[in-house]
Every structure is written in C-alpha cells, then in structure tokens.
Structure 1
Amino acid sequence: MTAQMTPAEVRQAVSEADLLLRYQQNLLSTTAAHQVTVCEKSRRIGFTWAIAADAVLTAASRKNAGGMDVFYLAYEKEMTREFIDTCAQWAKLFDRAASEVEEYVFDGAGDKAVMAFRIRFASGFEIVALSSNPRGLRGRQGYVIIDEAAFHDRLEEVLKAALALLMWGGKVLVISTHNGVDNPYNQLIDDIKAGRKPYALVRCTLDDALQDGLYRRICLVQGRAWSQEAEDAWRASLVARYGEAAGEELFCVPSASAGSWIPPELIAAATHKDAGDPSLFSGGSVYIGNDIARRRHGWVATAIERVGDVMWLREEQLLHNATFATQDEVLDDMVERYRPLRIAMDQTGMGEKPVEDAKRRYGDLRVEGVLMSGDRPLNVATAARRAFEDRLIRIPDDPAFRAEIRLIKRIIGPTGAPRLLTGIDKQSHADRAWAVFLAIAAAAGGAVPPAGVTIASAPLVTIGERRAGPLLAYRRTRMFGG
C-alpha cells in the first residue's frame, strides 16, 4: 500500500489482503456510501479494529479525496486510548505519514476543557479521541464516531451536534451494543426501521460474526487449530457466561430494562485518582461492606470514608480461596485501623457464621448482617445508585472495578416489577461491586448509633489474639492509584 492510493483503492486492498473479516468490511463500505450509519452489534467482535481503519483512511486522505478530521467520542477514557492506539497501528500498516499519539487538552468551545488523544496526518487532518461530549463539535467539521452510543449521557444532544456537521459534508457513525428498549439508541434504530430516519443501518450479531469467520480468526491469532466442535463449545460457553443478558449483549436484542443498574456515565463521573489510597484516610466516619465467599467467588471487604458529604473508597481487601480464619484476621485488621461506625456483611448462606463471629468480636451496634434475598439486594443497590446519581461517591480509576459495577443490571420480571441480574465476567460475580454497595448502604441507613452511644470511640468487644500464619499468601490489598 502506498500513500498515493485513494481511499477506495485502500479499502479494496484491505479486502483482498483479508485484514478485515466480511462483516467488518461491510461496515466500512456502508460508511463510505452514506453520510449517517447506525450499527447495532454484539459485544467484543472486533468492530473497534474496523472503525479505526475507517478513521485512518478518512483522516489520512487529502481533502479532494474525501479526507476530513475524525472525532471519536466514548464514555470513558480507556476506550479512547484503546481506539487511538488501534488507529496508530493502522497508520503504520497503511504506511501513512502520521505523528505519534499525543495527549492534549481539547477546548470544548464553551464546555469545560477535556483531555483527549490525537494523531496528526500529513494530509493536514487529525483523529481526536475524546472521553466526553463537548458542545464544541458544533463549531467543527469532520467525521464523528459515537462509540457505545447507548451508554452515553445525553445521546440526543450529542447526535444533534454531530448531525449539524452534515451540511458541510461531514459523516456520522453511531455504533453500540444495546442498553435497554427505552434507551435513545434503541429508539433511533426503531426510527430507522420504520423509515422515519433516512440513515443506513448495519446489524451484526455474534452468530453473524461467527459465520464470517470470527472464531477462525481468534484461533489463527492464538495459534490454535479450528474445528466446528471447538467453535460450538466456545459459543456455548460465551452464551452461558452472559446468562439472561446474552440476548442484549450478543444478539442485538434490547432488554426490557434500562441496562446497567448504575449507568456507565455515572460510574465514570465517580472515578477519581485519589480514591482507593489508604494513606489518604483522614480520620472521618468509615463504613465497611463485606461480600462473603469461600471458594468459587472472591471474598471482599471495602472501606469507605465520609469526608463532608462525599464517600471515598479508601481500601479494598480481596481474598481468593482463603480460610475463614484468614478472612476474620483481615477484617480484624481493617476494623482495628479504621474503627468503622458500621459493617454491613452478606449474611446469606455461608455468611451466617462469619456474621455471628463478627458481632461477637465487634459488637451488635457495629455489625449488620444483610440477608441478600427478596427485596434486600434491590434496596442495597438503590442506596448505591442514589450515591452515584447525587455524585456523593468516589471510586478508584480501575477499569476492572468499573466493569464489575456494570455487571449488575436491572431487568423487568414476569410481573413487571424490576429486579437485579448479576452477570458473570471471567471469575467475577460482581463481588467487588456488591462489597462497595453494602458499604454505601451502611452509610445511608446505619450511620447513626442509639442515643448516648458513640460507636467510633467505643472499645471493640474483642479482637482476640492475632492468629499465626502468613497472610500474604492469601491476601491482596487494593491500593488504587498508589
């Protein structure tokens, strides 16, 4: 490939070289032929790779060949970094002269300035990847890519600003997995299907991607032999992992819900670099949430500190396959250091004895056993959601932690009443999310001791002698940002 090739010639070369699978090529050909393209897709089927190629082809071309600036909008910074790095790979592959990736302050033209990533091309155009949606798009010109659109805050406003670019020859790509039937993204798709919006629509489910060679490509990259039996088993395991959410996450069927219980934009807004650092504990009121497990899932204890009106996650202890004695010792250590006002512990199933033991060691005033059945999980999760909505919680800048929070979803039950669904991601069952939810609920509903009792200054009932044995073999302390 040479720098003199037109975008159409490069697209043809990409197709012939099999750098993109057929469903990825279809997306590129659609965006090339239409000003506005909307794509509904399965999760993690490689569309970032495809739209990054599209962005590079556009920004690296001269103006008379269809070149223009490209603005990529995502709801969190990690997505923008991944996208811009993928664009850099394509620029090298296409042999297009481009600058190194740089991080800079994007002037939102009236909005607050935001951090962005940028690649400049010899054509004079650039790719800018943003983790928020400045109204400054209205004063600019180019190709706007709105990724995971269903998870954006104020999607209608972002679309309105992006579509304003069309009168000057711009383009718009709206691409996302689904996030509930009532989401503006799904309403946009319904308008296209009904003929109310004259936009191109691309749909790609997991099965569509498999038919076009997704699993074959995975095997090629991983150096494994492909077989139909292995592909069927891989598909079945993926569907089982997503459980009730598989229709929405993998097959482009929006759920009868609002998607994630805590919207991703609220999770992103709660992220702070100072959260998760125990050394910043200032002696304020502390609440601990404890999700109890023994073998299959993680045991998690999370401490949050109230500073003014805001709750800061200070420390998280995560154990895997640790004995109950080790769990007790780790919790003892946290209680001794933070002297929490309240400890909310999951009392369901195997949690009965740890809760009884904790009450004996710390006292009934400090410890609350929470039976996570019936309406109780929804009550706990509601307290957490209010804290996120009111911007009263700060969590660490940890993508894995945020992903666990997003695993907790709201669905509509058979009677029409809302209920929660906890997805499974690798070895996680949202254990870390439920621990911080319990801590927030403890702060919201169990913060005030009876008259005349000062829990923080009261002696612990008994911690007992320290148990012998190397804790570090089992223990992992989360000191985010440290």
Structure 2
Amino acid sequence: MSARKYLGRKPLLLSYQQRMLKAISEHKYSIFMYARQTGKSFAVALWAVLRALEKSNHLVAIISPTERQSKELMEKVKRHVEFLKVVGAEYGEKFFEDAKISVLEVKFPNGSRIVGLPANPDGVRGLTGDVVLEEAAFFQDGFKVYQAIFPSITRSKDYKLVVISTPKGKLNLFYHLWTSSENNDLWYREKLTIYDAVAEGLDVDVEVLKKGIPSDEMWRSEYLCEFVDEAEAFIPYELIQFCEAEDVREKDIRKLQGEIFIGVDIGRRHDYTAIAIVEKLGDVLYLRNMEILKQVPFSEQFAILRHLAGYARKMAIDETGIGMQLAEELTRLYGELKIIPVYFTAKAKEEMATRLKTKFQDRLIRIYPDPDLREDLHSVRKVVTEAGNIRLESVSDDGHADRFWALALAVHASSGEERKIFVPPCFVSPRREGLTYGLNQLV
C-alpha cells in the first residue's frame, strides 16, 4: 500500500501536518517548534509508521521525556496501525494484519520496528536508525541524551533526526538545538503558533482556550512559542523538571507510611486555598498531593484541615489575614508542637522560598508532573526594589502562586527548626530592679 493513499484522505491531516511529513522525508535533520494541541505528536507518529512501511529491517526510535509520555505517543502509533489495517483491507492488502503490537514497541512483517523510550541517556545509547525527540524541551538530561544518540544518527546518511517540542525556557536541549540550527542549511526549521494552526484549519476557539490558561507566561510559552527568559525565575524550569517523577502522587493520606508534613496557603485573591501534603522518606520529601479548595466556606475548610492535621506530624499554615482564625482554632485543638502559624512578612517569605529552592537544587524533593503546579513554582520572581530590599513576586494571574507557598510551608514544617516567638522587649521595673518581664523565649 502506498503512503499517498493514506495521506490522500483529507480529514486525516491538516496542511501544516502534511508539510511536516514532507519536510522530514526531505531532510536529515528537522526541528519543529509547535504550539500545544496542534497535533504534532499525531503527525510524527504517522511519519514513523510510514517510514517503517517504506524500509525493511529498520528502526524508528521515539524518545519522550518520561515512560508515561512514551506510552501515550505509542498509542498514537498503534491507532495509525489499526487504521491502516482497515484501509489496507479496502485495497486488498494485508501487510499490517501481522504487525505485533506491545506497550512500547510495534514490529512489522518486513522486520522494521517502532519503539518508544523514555529520555534516559543509558537507555538510548547504541540505537541504530531514525530518532525522534518528542517534547525535547522537557528532557531531564537532554544534553546527555543527545550525546548518547547522535553517533547512531550519523552512522548512515539515510538516518534521520526529528526534534519536536513546545518551548520551555532557555536552559534545555531544545532551545540549544533551535538556536544553533538557525541559518544552518543542514536543518529544516518550522515554528507554528496556535494562531498559525487555526489559520491552517485547526478547529480551536483561541479566545476560549486563552481564558483557561493560568498565566500570560504559560500562554506565551506553550501557545505563542516564545522562549520565556529564565533569568528572573526564582526556581527555573530546569530545577523543577529535575525533581518531577512519575508515581509520586497519592491522594489517600491514609496510605502514607512516612512522616507527613502539611503546608496550607490561604487564598486571599481568588477565594481558594492550597494544601500541600508532603511525605518524608529518609532525606527526601515527596509531594503526595496538592489539594485546591475553591470557594469553599470557612467552616468546611476548617473541617478539612482538622481532619488532615490528625495525620500530620506538623502543619504550617499561613496566618496572614483571614488565615489567622483557622490557625488559632487548629492550634487550640492540636497545640503549638503540631500547628505552626506563619505570618507572611517579606523576611519570612524569603527564608521559606530559599529553603524550598535549596531542596530543588539538592534534589531532595520529588513532585508529580502537573502543568498548574509547574507554572506556580516557576512564577515566583526575586525582585530588588529601588531601596535595595528583596521582594518575592509572582507573575501568575492571581499574583500569589498559592501552590508555591503551600509547598514552601510544608517544607518549612519539615525543617525541624524551632520557631521563634517574638514578644515585646524586656524591661526593668523601676521599683524592683532586676525583675524582668516579657522574656524572649524559644518554643
């Protein structure tokens, strides 16, 4: 069966997807910076299937940031194979009926294979064939992966390297490849924003889509294909991504076996509260869940926090503003050894944020992959005022980065440091010299 019969079905591919397949076929190196939800993975999965059809005893390796993402892309590969079975039957061809399909591999009767692999330098070393780097901006060890696979690509002039991704800052492999391929005749480069895709037939209401994006920075990066500068980010994407791991999330707090620490940030702008539940195993903190309470009445928030506090060794809670009453009631129930009220002064925020960043730098924290969590963690900026003071600000839409501060509070609760309670300066009674009132103390 010819590829032309497959591609000729108009509902299947949009014009820019057809252009992608044509460019890959004509160039040894190609790189595509496509916006989210434009069907880039669908198109490259189709190219992999057609490539396996055209060449015998050939390998197409698709490398994704994680094993979960590898499985998701291989599902697209399998859907193309299943579709080809139906189309092939119409033309009396049975090539695809004997294809052997497993979770991360498809084997064809002509000896060709398509494999899905997570971006692990050791796991991809020694490959011989075509290589697709899917969502390359999100590889944890991108440069090491590239170093491991590049010799395999150059082994034959017929092997191809395909790089596709949405951008994510400037401290990653994708940014390096995109910028270094500019004005380089060896590479084919193409950028496609969400507006470009809609102009070429993508059925998406851009204005509705934009309303659902939590920050302007995320919109610019993932849909307008801009490399947002990482210089001002307090915790850059690279650090966040290094500490992301699959199978970290556990929503049932009763299943946790280690010490549990909870941070509670009381939302004051958009009426939602963020609750970070962290489990400590050895020296590593695992973010098991981030509960978001949107427009939940005060009494219900208190009931939820009272329940969770029963499982926690310590709970740090933002007592600024309306959080004060929650902190007081929980302290009354559980005592000061368990409940840690934190008043959000500039100094307190800087200390907590620095402690959180240090955990990421030392890789002593693990979080689950989640776009909203990632953007909140990345949204905080360290700003120096004209007076020379340090201030932490958020570029998120609500200006607060609730998930960031909830996690910072949970890390603060786990630090084991004693809390200082500041009281008025001590003074000496004029009548009884030597008798001191209001002594400073540590609790």
TM over 0.5: yes
Deviation at residue 433 of structure 1 after TM alignment:
5.7
CA shift digits 1:166-185 (9 cap, x unpaired): 33231111111112234342
Is 1:123 aligned to residue 110 of structure 2? yes
Q: Deviations over 1:322-363 (max 9, x none)?
A: 32122212222222343x2x3222334432332333344434
1:54 aligns with 47
Q: Distance in 1 between matches of 2:192 and 2:327?
A: 48
For residues 411 and 24 of structure 1, the distance between their equivalents in structure 2, rounded to whole angstroms, comes to: 36
Deviation at 1:41, TM superposition (A): 1.8
1:89 and 2:89 correspond: no
What does residue 286 of structure 1 align with? 260
Q: Name the counterpart of 1:466.
A: none
Query: 2:61 is matched by which residue type in structure 1?
Result: F
Classify 1:375/1:152 alpha carbon distance in 2 versus 1 (closer, same or farther; 3 Å).
farther
**CA-based RMSD:** 3.5
Q: 1:254 to 1:312 in 2, by over 3 A?
A: closer
- Give the letter for the 2:323 counterpart: G
The separation in 2 between residues aligned to 1:88 and 1:375, in whole angstroms, is 54
Q: Normalising by structure 1, report the TM-score.
A: 0.71
* Mapped contact 1:281–1:305 kept (Cα < 8 A): yes
TM-score by length of 2: 0.77
User: Alpha-carbon deviation of 1:34?
Assistant: 0.5
Q: Which of 327, 333, 351 is matched with 2:307 structurally? A: 333
* Partners of 1:418 and 1:212 in 2: CA distance: 44
8 A Cα contact 2:217 2:228, kept in partner: no
Deviation at 1:76, TM superposition (A): 1.9
Corresponding residue for 1:350? 322
* Percent identity (aligned): 26
Q: Distance in 2 between matches of 1:337 and 1:171?
A: 53
Does the Cα contact within 8 Å between 1:295 and 1:321 map onto a contact in 2? no
CA drift of 1:273 comes to 5.6
What pairs with 1:249-288 in structure 2 (closer than 5 Å)? 249-257=222-230, 261=236, 263=238, 265-269=241-245, 271-272=246-247, 277-282=252-257, 285-288=259-262
Tell me how far 1:412 sits from its aligned partner.
6.4
Structure number with greater Rg is: 2
**Greater shift in the superposed pair: 161-170 or 44-53:** 161-170
- Once the two structures are TM-superposed, the CA of residue 53 in structure 1 deviates from its matched residue by 0.7
Q: Does 1:205 align with 2:193?
A: yes
Q: What is the CA–CA distance in structure 2 between the aligned matches of 1:124 and 1:15, rounded to whole Å?
A: 26
Tell me which of 161, 164, 170 is aligned to 1:175. Answer: 164
Distance 1:314 1:139 in 2: 36
Matched, 1:187 2:176: yes
- Letter of the 1:439 partner, please give it: A
Q: Report the counterpart of residue 248 of structure 1 in structure 2.
A: 221
Offset of residue 137 of structure 1? 3.6
**Equivalent residue runs for 1:31-46 within 5 Å:** 31-46=24-39
Equivalent residues of 2:381, 2:394 under 8 A apart: no
Comparing 120-129 and 203-212, the one that deviates more:
120-129
Q: 1:102 to 1:381 in 2, by over 3 A?
A: farther
Counterpart amino acid of residue 27 in structure 1: M
AA paired with 1:200?
Y
In the alignment, the residues of structure 2 paired with residue 54 and residue 232 of structure 1 have an alpha-carbon distance, to the nearest angstrom, of 27
Counterpart CA distance in 2 for 1:209 and 1:200 is 18
Distance 1:136-1:77 versus aligned 2 partners, 3 A rule = closer
Deviates more, 1:380-389 or 1:147-156: 380-389
8 A Cα contact 2:41 2:73, kept in partner: yes
Where structure 1 has 5 or more consecutive residues not aligned to the other structure, the ranges are 104-116, 219-230, 451-482
Deviation at residue 279 of structure 1 after TM alignment: 4.0
Q: Is the 8 A contact 1:61 1:68 kept in 2?
A: no
Aligned residues of 2:263 and 2:277 also touching (Cα < 8 A):
yes
The aligned counterpart of 1:135 is 122
- Give the letter aligned to residue 266 of structure 1: F
SS at match of 1:187: helix
Which residue number corresponds to residue 17 of structure 2?
24
Report the alpha carbon displacement of residue 443 of structure 1 after superposing the two structures with TM. Answer: 1.5
Alignment CA distance shift 1:174-1:329 (3 Å): same
CA contact (8 A) 1:381 1:437 kept: yes
* 1:81 aligned counterpart, secondary structure: helix
Asked whether the equivalents of residues 127 and 149 of structure 2 are also in contact (C-alpha less than 8 Å), the reply is no
8 A contact 2:214–2:372 mirrored in 1: no
Paired with 1:17 and 1:415, the residues of 2 have a C-alpha distance of: 55
Quick one: distance in 1 between partners of 2:316 and 2:127? 51
The aligned amino acid for 1:118 is E
Could you tell me whether the CA contact under 8 Å between 1:300 and 1:319 is conserved in 2? yes
Instruction: Decide whether the 8 Å contact of 1:257 with 1:410 is kept in 2.
Output: no
Structure 2 distance, partners of 1:214, 1:421, is 33
Deviation (angstroms), 1:186: 1.8
Secondary structure of the residue that 1:179 maps to in structure 2?
coil
Q: Read off the aligned partner of 1:303 and give its amino acid letter.
A: I
How many pairs were matched up? Answer: 399
Shift of 1:418: 9.7
| 1:120–1:433 distance in 2 versus 1, CA, 3 Å | farther
Query: Any idea what the Cα deviations from partners look like across 1:183-216, whole Å, max 9, x if unmatched?
Result: 3422322222243x7211111111110110112x
Alignment of 1:389-404 (within 5 A): 389-395=361-367, 402-404=370-372
Identify the residue that residue 162 of structure 1 maps to in structure 2: 149
Counterpart Cα distance in 1 of 2:318 and 2:98? 54
Whether the aligned pair in 1 keeps the contact of 2:215 and 2:395 (CA below 8 Å) is no
- Choose from 310, 319, 328 the match for 2:284: 310
Amino acid at match of 2:280: R
Cα separation, 1, equivalents of 2:380 and 2:403: 21
Q: Which runs of 5 or more structure 2 residues have no equivalent in the other structure?
A: 86-95, 421-443
Question: What SS class does the counterpart of residue 81 from structure 2 fall into?
Answer: helix
Distance change (3 Å), C-alpha of 1:52 and 1:376 = farther
The answer to whether residue 348 in structure 2 is matched with residue 387 in structure 1 is no
Q: Deviations over 1:51-91 (max 9, x none)?
A: 1111111123333xxx7211111112331121011111111
What amino acid does structure 2 have at the position aligned with 1:125? S
